[in-house]
């Protein structure tokens, strides 16, 4: 899965949609429920931050893989 460029890009796109939905739900869908408890608020946005960091690392992996693939094409 991680070796195919098209699959990596699809996974990045799906991950971005999940994070955007997570943010929208937290801001408009359940904002009153989240504001009722500091612990719920911190957990919700902490998970959002964790998902975002994972997606950023995956995007960096994709960028480095593309660079490696292009270098391998040039050397052949």
pTM to 2 decimal places: 0.83
Domain count, the chain: 1
- List CB contacts of 23: < 8 A, sequence separation 6 or more: 48
Alpha helix locations (H) across 1-76? 5-24, 31-35, 38-75
Does residue 58 contact residue 11 with C-beta atoms inside 8 Å? yes
Tell me if residue 25 falls in helix, strand or coil.
helix
Domain range spanning residue 56? 5-75
Nearest to 67 by CA among 46, 32, 75: 75
Per-residue pLDDT of the chain in tens (76 residues, 90 and over written 9):
678 888 989 999 999 999 999 999 999 989 889 889 999 999 999 999 999 999 999 999 999 999 998 888 888 7
């Amino acid at each position: 899965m991680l070796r195919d460029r098209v699959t990596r890009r699809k996974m990045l796109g799906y991950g971005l949609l999940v994070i955007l939905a997570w943010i929208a739900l937290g801001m408009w869908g359940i904002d009153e429920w989240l504001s009722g408890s500091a612990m719920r608020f911190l957990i919700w946005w902490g998970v959002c931050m964790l998902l975002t960091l994972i997606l950023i690392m995956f995007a960096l992996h994709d960028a480095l893989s593309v660079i490696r693939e292009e270098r391998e094409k040039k050397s052949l």
